[in-house]
Amino acid sequence: MHSKAVVVISRWQPEAWAQELRALMPGCDIRLFPELGDPTDIAYALVWRPPAGLLRSLPNLRAVFSLGAGVDHIFCDPAPPDVPIVRMVDPDMSMRMREHVVLHVLLHHRQLLDYRALQRASRWHELLQPAASAVNVGIMGLGELGLDCARTLSLLGFNVAGWSRTRKEVAGITSFAGEIERDAFLGRTDILVCLLPLTEETRGILNRAVFERLRRDGPLGGAVLINAGRGELQVEADILAALDRGALNAASLDVFETEPLPQDSPFWRHPRVVVTPHVAAVSDALALTRAIADQIEAFEAGKPLRNVVDPKRGY
């Protein structure tokens, strides 16, 4: 295996990934895009937003590793590679996403936006404090990350339900599945957390029809949206309209239709919106390269790859 080359294709910290891989796979030829060398040498690619067509042009490629949990940045290529695509599933990634989701659920549950406004007005004023057990959190996408967040929020005392393509059997978490149960899921939800992958089926799913169905008479005085999935899942004009009309009371958005978020976006200054720059769960090279190096070694020894995505489903 050590005669084979591994290429890192990323516009985002490529050196850090290459450096870690060189330390973990000392006999391996680690190359950094665009310095591909002889493309026939390349057996593995670690990628984030690879240029369209590039992976297909590597004739001896054996597998592709996504540097993130999502693979939409690979499948947006009109000719994606015809080899197994492995996505990132790792305790470090789950830990970071869990922190982000719990932080924002608690921020809205404990009415931090209202307290910040009161602080700016130098007003000492106590708001009603609903119990977590009176608040229904609904997680769209009950996969690796969504399920982990669901379990943690349930431990904190929230009523947690999840919505996914297929039903889950998880103690303490109500599972809704498929289109047919989506409205029932939305109708009981006070805080909607989106951790769906971006696919042709989910693009634009966070839209007016969804916001209109969320519970409005819950203890927080209106529904809240937390999107930490992908920006293209949301219709931003519909979020702004829902905030105006009261279908949404507040939102925490980590991802956007256009990133970086344009300077003239109303989200920057909206008093009911918390903006973060796509940092809910960053992929940490130090933590994640070990898992990739181990997978390559096992695959070379004839073992199957784990966390391979289904190209038909797109996630």
Binding residues for ligand NAP (CB under 6 A): 68-70, 97, 141-146, 164-166, 195-199, 201-202, 228-230, 254-255, 278, 280-281, 315
**Least distance from ligand NAP to the Cβ atom of residue 246, Å:** 26
We find the least distance from the C-beta atom of residue 39 to ligand NAP, in angstroms, to be 29
Residue number, 33 or 315, with CB nearest to ligand NAP: 315
**Is the separation of the CB atoms in 175 and 169 below 8 Å?**
yes
H helix intervals, the chain: 14-24, 72-75, 91-109, 112-120, 144-155, 182-187, 208-213, 236-245, 285-300
- Residue showing the smallest CB distance to ligand NAP in the complex: 143
Q: Which is nearer to ligand NAP, 3 or 166 (CB)?
A: 166
User: Is the Cβ of residue 4 or residue 188 nearer to ligand NAP in the bound state?
Assistant: 188
Torsion of CA 93, 143, 146, 185, to 10 degrees: 170
Position 297, amino acid:
E
Q: Which is catalytic among the residues 216, 270, 278, 290?
A: 278
CB of 91 to ligand NAP, least distance (A): 12
* Cα–Cα distance for residue pair 54/35, rounded to 1 Å: 13
The residue among 28 and 285 lying less far from ligand NAP, judged by its C-beta, is: 285
278 counts as catalytic: yes
Residue of 167, 230, 270, 313 with catalytic role: 230
CB of 199 to ligand NAP, least distance (A): 6
Q: DSSP letters along 10-70, please? A: ESSSHHHHHHHHHHH-TTSEEEETT---SGGGEEEEEEESPPTTTGGG-TT--EEEESSS-
Active site residue 62: no
Q: Residue 199 or 249: which CB sits closer to ligand NAP? A: 199
Q: Looking up tokens 């971006």, which residue turns up?
A: 198
Least separation in angstroms between residue 40's CB and ligand NAP is 32
d(CA 73, CA 82): 15
Q: Which is nearer to ligand NAP, 144 or 297 (CB)?
A: 144
Residue 65's closest CA among 47, 51, 78, 81?
47
Name the minimum Å distance from CB 97 to ligand NAP: 6
Distance CA 25, CA 1 (A): 10
Q: Report how far Cα 187 is from the mean position of its chain's Cα atoms.
A: 23
Residue 237: closest CA among 222, 223, 258: 258
Residue 165 pairs in a beta bridge with none
Residues with a known catalytic role = 230, 278
